[in-house]
Structure 1
Amino acid sequence: MATDPLPWDGRRLASQLAATGPTRTWRSAYDEDLVVELPTTTPADLAGAVARARSAQVDWAARPLADRERVLLALHDAVLDHREDLADLLQYEGGKARLTAMEEILHLAMTARYYARVARQVLHDRRGRGMVPLLTRIDERHVPLGLVGIIAPWNYPLSPTVADGLAALVAGNAVILKPDLQTPYVALAAVDLLRQAGLPADLWPVVYGPGDRVGPELIEAVDYLCFTGSTATGRVVAQQCAGRLIGCSLELGGKNPLLVLDDADAEVAAAGAVRAAFGNAGQLCVSTERIFVADTLHDAFAGAFVAKTRTLRLGRSLDYEHEMGSLVSTEQLERVEAQVADARAKGAQVLTGGRRRPDLGPLFYEPTVLTGVTPEMDCYAGETFGPVVSLYRVADDAEAIARANDSDYGLNASVWTGDPVRGRRVARQVRCGTVNVNEAYGATFGSIDAPMGGMKSSGLGRRQGPEGLLRFVESQAIGTQSLLPLAPAFGLSPQTFVSGLTGALRVLKALGRA
């Protein structure tokens, strides 16, 4: 078992898995010679982890909120202190470029700090307005759900995967995490840091195994589920959660549009589009796959965009030398290759890219720009999830908006303009959960106070912001009635009681009361 190159003790991390079953091969996307056999989780392993987590959650929820906040703040510092080792792990597991890995790490630190600072404000008990002023008292409190399950993706295995769990933790829940088969180590490293920050050992178990087996078993055991992955799998997950009457949040697929308006700076927009389309080699839920450019700016933008794409530095190194890394697996590489081949065969033109790069590594594919893409091509409406983007010419803002919205998906969009007011006006007409003006995706993704999630087939629920915390609690209302009952009393007839209430309601409306 060759784990020496890993920045954490790989054997120690693997020993923390709630797993004693048959082993499964893990292979590094960065170094194909790094291969490890990891144990998988059995039904008995899962049942034991769930029981221990539920027991630990009772004590955790009873602790003062300040104790839970301190763990998140300690994690914030630990993540920043260990950022280089975490980046190494992210690169080994997923083949990321160094800067892409660091973006994920810094996002996790920001999330930890955000929820540690706002939890008290969001979760505090609230006095509501009672039915009868002065006589009816309403108290609202937030009760943790209990055990939150997370089924994590391979493309961003640290954040937002662990970030979802932090919101659940500070709300008083236990968490059970199933990382993707390709990315177990960085998840284990993050949980390791949490335990060093003061998290009880049993409060966040990690299970490991094939999603089609361990995933359904996990859903049957939890009180809420967070899932990030494909829309097809998300529908199956939603059906299972609905059958148990538990809540879920789903961040699913996207065919994200980028709109370049006629007053944009072509060079600036092209640089932004390169980041939008080729960050993490396009393996990002919010990355751009469709670009709509105003007719008068199209040629200037296309020239600048293709030129900047060609200068991207591809390769693998544990430093900042390269701007784009590899794909995560042979399956992902073959998916990208098949979509480009299909588009070519049906008449699309490749402006740049369109080739494997085995000289750089087994999983590299060039950043690719297509034009002439039409509806019968697989990449027109279907998510590619790789470094491939299609370029379209549009007459005006109205056509750009209509074509951006002509999709089953609605996750993220980007608008480029010289006038931010105009950009926001256009953004309001785009049916996506997040829309960034003069930025690819970082303005919303990096602003933890902003809710993030999809419309249409891109998902359910929101992570980040207060909504990202409130999904992990139940609201409980406690009503206390004083002096008079909410029923006929003291000899009043029902008719007199109803007439009195009717008059009171009219008075309250006249006084402007809710």
Structure 2
Amino acid sequence: MTLQRPASLTDDFLRGLVARVPSSDGGTWKLTEVYTGELLVELPQSTPADIEQAFVTARAAQVEWAKRPLKQRLEVFKRAHTLFLDRAQTTTDLIQAESGKNRRMAIEETCDPPMVMSHYLKRAPKLLAPVKRGGPVPFLTTSTEIRQPKGVVGIIAPWNFPFATGISDSISALMAGNAIVLKPDNKTALSPLYGVQLLEEAGLPKGLFQVICGEGPDVGPTLIDNANYVMFTGSTATGRVIGERAGRNLIGCCLELGGKNPMIVLDDADLDDVVQGAIFGAFGNTGQICMHIERMYLPESRYAEFRDAFVKATEALSIGAAYDFGPDMGSLVSPDHMERVKSHVDDAVAKGATVLTGGKPRPDLGPAFFEPTILEGVTKDMLAGVTETFGPVVALHSYRTVDEAVELANDTDYGLNASVWGGDVATACQVGKRLESGNVNVNDILATAFASKGTPSGGVKQSGVGARHGDQGILKYTDVQQLAVLKKQVMGARPGQDYDEYVKGMIGGLKMMRKTGIR
């Protein structure tokens, strides 16, 4: 198809971005524009030796970076905050070209790193400051908690939000004094590469933030074996492999993994609000959001009412390839992924599910487009019933009681995100607390939870280990050093003192400290 590429995406600009990626053997990967399938740039592929050298370079830069006072490190991100917002349109162009998402989702993705910067610019000085605590003997001992950077953090970013995860997950690690080696997905390497360029323009030392590229099995093991900590966002299957390797290396990892996220609609929910929320929950970013909705539970008494309104709104969505805010929904990330989504729908139909709307690829629009799809009659023997589809496909179910709805929502191996809708917010919150999910949104799908940078966001069950955001989002990138000081030698019996006498005194002292509240 013919599509005018944005003027910002010149060949020289794109080649300049990928020139940062090391590739000693000259191997490349064809990075294409998703909308059309046309070549954007040849992306260098890194060898294990290239990755090892990237860690050597990053480690040397990290030593000097960690020596800088925190205030000086944070100045870089104050400047970067302005740069990221000023260049948001160019970043949006890159995100659209490499991922195929519509412009609304792309521009919203560019806002995530500045939001993370803003939060930790305020919070980091307190969280990273030494904390003096009491020692075992009042006045004569002290114990100080000191936060030390882990060293070089390996970040493996997914293709669905390459800029938000690749850059946002790096920000707090950098603030804490670490270096970064980032592996973006080959399909979506351009926007994170641009983010690194902007950080360096803001004053981040060159060499501190390395980017390596390649297919996961080719580069992942070397990255994990050289990192001091790993942050991964992606599938549960890959997360298990990464977690096992990190465990063998005795390094920490944070894993945000898959989901089969439910949405419960209570019988007093507002119809228009629910439909609007469901449209975004199922079809935002073409259904390629870790926290998006794939299972929707409707009260039996209002099932037909909600179903019909949702189908009507879905059929009114516009789908297309455009670098403007016209289409409501864009493309899937690749033809291969489109075939995966199609296979889930085909499997469900073959086993008895009904397609209420959609259900088909749209090759007339581009090589990876798929219609927004609503299914009915999905069961647990279908792929779409238990496995994350990660596309614009949602299944509708009815329930009779709230207890049944909660039981159905929790009947999954996953627990990343959930959504509850109701007119009585207090009641909806009580329902939400019963759900086995790391994130629960009331009268929203996911934005309120994910945009609340002060609160940890992570999964339970098979949806992950650890969290991003909140205090954990920066403290996980640090090791705790305890600096303990004894001012006078009182930790033991005095010379010549009978040890029984010493023990009596010690026990009496402990009782006194507890009684007086000293310890």
TM-score range, shorter chain: over 0.9
Mean Cα deviation higher: 275-284 or 303-312:
303-312
* Residue 411 (1) aligns with residue 413 (2): no
Q: 1: CA distance between counterparts of 2:214 and 2:126?
A: 38
> What SS does structure 2 have at the residue aligned with 1:409?
coil
Give the structure 1 partner of residue 290 of structure 2.
Answer: 285
> 1:440 is aligned with what amino acid?
I
Q: Residue type of the partner of 1:463?
A: R
Q: Deviations over 1:379-402 (max 9, x none)?
A: 111110000011111112211111
Distance 2:185 2:511 in 1: 59
Kept in 2, the 8 Å contact 1:4–1:10? The answer is no
Once residues 48 and 170 of structure 1 are traced to their aligned partners in structure 2, the CA distance between those partners, rounded to angstroms, is 23
Shift of 1:33: 1.9
Deviation of 1:485 (Å): 2.4
Please give the secondary structure, in 2, of the residue aligned with 1:465: coil
Q: Name which of 1, 8, 15 aligns with 1:11.
A: 15
Residue of structure 1 equivalent to 2:24: 20
Which runs of structure 2 are paired with 1:444-483 in the superposition (5 Å)?
Answer: 444-483=449-488
The answer to whether the Cα contact below 8 Å between 1:3 and 1:10 also exists between their aligned partners in 2 is no
- Structure 1 contact 100–279 (Cα < 8 Å) conserved: yes
Aligned counterpart, 2:358: 353
SS at match of 1:355: coil
Runs of at least 5 residues in structure 2 that lack an aligned partner in the other structure: none
Q: Which residue of 2 aligns with 1:127?
A: 132
Identity over aligned pairs, percent: 43
Measured at CA, do residues 68 and 497 of structure 1 come closer, stay the same or move farther in structure 2, by a change above 3 Å? same
Counterpart residue number, 1:372: 377
TM-score w.r.t. structure 2 length? 0.96
Distance 1:116 1:19 in 2: 35
Kindly report which structure 2 residues correspond to 1:291-306, keeping only aligned pairs within 5 A, or say none: 291-306=296-311
What residue number does 2:431 align with? 426
Structure 2 residue aligned with 1:396? 401
Q: Distance in 2 between matches of 1:351 and 1:276?
A: 17
Match of 2:384, as an amino acid? C
3-state DSSP of counterpart to 2:471: helix
Look up the match of 1:161.
166
On the 8 A contact 1:279/1:324 being kept in 2, the answer is yes
With the length of structure 1 as denominator, give the TM-score of the two structures. 0.97
Report the secondary structure of 2:441's partner residue.
strand
CA distance in 2: counterparts of 1:276 and 1:145, whole angstroms: 37
Partner of residue 81 from structure 2, selected from 76, 80, 92: 76
Are the aligned partners of 2:6 and 2:93 in contact in 1 as well (CA < 8 Å)? no
C-alpha distance in 2 between matches for 1:183 and 1:20: 21
Count of equivalent residues:
513
- Specify the SS of the correspondent of 2:396: strand
Task: Report the CA distance between 1:425 and its aligned residue.
Answer: 1.3
Structure 2 counterpart of 1:191: 196
Residues 420, 428 of structure 2: 8 Å contact kept: yes
Following superposition, the deviation at residue 6 of structure 1 comes to 5.4
Q: Which residue of 2 aligns with 1:96?
A: 101
Q: Where in structure 2 are the equivalents of 1:167-186 lying within 5 Å?
A: 167-186=172-191
- 1:380 alignment partner AA: G
Q: Kindly tell me: are residues 3 and 210 of structure 1, through their superposed partners in 2, closer, same or farther at Cα, counting changes over 3 Å?
A: farther
Using the TM superposition, give the Cα deviation of residue 501 of structure 1 relative to its aligned residue in structure 2, in angstroms: 2.4
Letter matched to residue 356 of structure 2? L
Secondary structure at the aligned position of 1:202 is classed as coil
- C-alpha displacement of 1:505: 2.5
Separation in structure 1 between the aligned mates of residue 155 and residue 265 of structure 2, nearest angstrom: 36
2:332 maps to which residue? 327
- Extract unaligned runs of 5+ from structure 1: none
How far apart in 2 are the matches of 1:200 and 1:505?
51
The RMSD of aligned alpha carbons is 1.5
Contact 1:3 1:34 in 2 (8 A): no
